Amino acid sequence: MKNRIVIAFALFLGLSCSVLAQSGPVVPAPAKKPRHALTIAVQALATPVMHPKAAVKITLKGISDGIAVGIRGTEAVVDVVHLGTAAIAGPVPSPFFYVNKVVGYADTGLEKGYKLFWNADI
């Protein structure tokens, strides 16, 4: 039993030494120089001048995404209002019946508009 422990330890020690010998010395990564705030500001202001197509593309994408988020949020609110007016209106024509119809048209219009412009379902 004692011989097996000694053999296992020797094997472990031999494998460890061979792995350490192959890895080489550990060299730390060079420190990154901090950039000055003025350099960052000038680069941010010069980018639209140097790359006008990319600047327009990024701006339009941001506006489009903002509108899409707004429509999705509005549509979620209109869905809840439509559910509420449908529950209140009931089968008999009442003032809420007409409110429910208008909210239904708004709900459908938002969904169709989102499908038309972004080609996706809400």
pLDDT tens, 47-77? 888 888 988 998 899 999 999 999 999 999 9
pTM, two decimal places: 0.55
The span from the first CA to the last CA of the chain, in angstroms, equals 70
Ranges of the chain whose pLDDT falls below 70: 1-2, 6, 8-26
Domain ranges of the chain: 52-122
What's residue 18's pLDDT? Answer: 62
CA distances from 100 to 12, 29, 39, 73 (A): 78, 66, 57, 19
What's residue 109's pLDDT? Answer: 92
For residue 9, give the H/E element and its range: helix 2-23
